[in-house]
Structure formats: C-alpha cells, structure tokens
Structure 1
Amino acid sequence: MTTLTIVVRYFAAARAAAGAEEEKVQLPAGARVSDAVAELRQLHPEGLPRILDAVSYLLDGIAVRDLTRPLTDGAELDVLPPFAGG
C-alpha cells in the first residue's frame, strides 16, 4: 500500500474553520500525525492553521502527545480546540 486514508473529525472552532465536521485525508504510507497536521494546514489555509497551533489531538480515542506517532489506514484523528468552562 503506497497511501493510507484517515478520517479527521473536527470539533468546535476547528469544525468552523475547516467548514466540515469530518473528512477523509489521504497520506503516504508511513505518515505520522505531524504529516496529517501539515496536510490539514494546506487543505484549509484560511482559518485552520491558527487553530491547529492550539489544539490537542486524539488518535483512535487516545490523546496524542507525540506528533511523530505513526498513522494506520482507517485511523481516526480528532482535532480538539481548547474548551472554555469550569
């Protein structure tokens, strides 16, 4: 397999900036979370890059601290902006 496809799900301000609740993104085999983030910046250059500087990510429901984590075909990457509240 030379490519993999992930599902990116956007929440709150990230959803508004991307103009979608979710989308499928194709990446080269061996891609990492950082590669997905770079692709998202290119796909939505208007408002999303600023938001991506402050978000956190979940990969298949698990918090991502290391953006060099490898992606697998069919993985779900959630983009979670900081939430206000108490």
Structure 2
Amino acid sequence: MVEIRYFAAIADAVGKDKETLDFPADATIADLRTALAESYGPNLDKMLAVCAYLIGDELTRDPSTPLTPRVDVLPPFAGG
C-alpha cells in the first residue's frame, strides 16, 4: 500500500488531497503515473510529467525512482 498525497493543482485535478493505492514492491514513479492516468484520464499524465515527487526525504522527477510507503505529488509552484 502506498499513500499518495496531492498538493495544489494536482489535488484539484483528482478531487482529493490523498488516497491509498496498491502497488507491487518494485513499483516506480512511472508505475504511479500510469495508474493515475488510467484512473483520472490522460490529461492528468501531462500534469504529472512536470511534477516533482517527494520520496522519503528526496525530491525527484526520475520516473525510475522506486515508490515508498508515502509519496507526495508536487506540481510546479509559482512564487518569488
């Protein structure tokens, strides 16, 4: 089980702040993106492609990064 937490525009797109999904032990960010696109539509995958993913204490965009029990999905933030 992986707890997925969504922030900002991604939370708006999926209509929730978090959910828990089942993935095999060797699942990666690419697997997460595929599952979310299948659930929420291909337009979400375009958004996910520009997101960063907080895996443990590391922020990454590498689709081959293995999932951990909690993953934060962070869209690009504007600011200054």
The runs of 5 or more residues in structure 1 that have no matched partner are none
Structure 2: distance between partners of 1:81 and 1:25: 20
Check if 1:24 corresponds to 2:24.
no
Larger Rg: 1
Greater share of residues in strand: 1
Please report the RMSD computed on the Cα atoms of aligned residues, expressed in angstroms: 1.6
Q: Deviations over 1:26-72 (max 9, x none)?
A: 11231112111111111111652231122111112311242212224
Inter-CA distance 20–46: structure 2 relative to 1 (3 Å threshold): farther
Match of 2:79 in 1: 85
* Gap regions ≥5 residues in structure 2: none
Amino acid at match of 1:52: L
Relative to 1, partners in 2 of residues 1:30 and 1:48: Cα closer, same or farther, differing over 3 Å? same
Aligned length, in residue pairs: 80
What's the % identity of the aligned pairs?
39
Give the conservation status (yes or no) of the 8 Å contact 2:51–2:61. Answer: no
TM-score calculated relative to the size of structure 1: 0.80
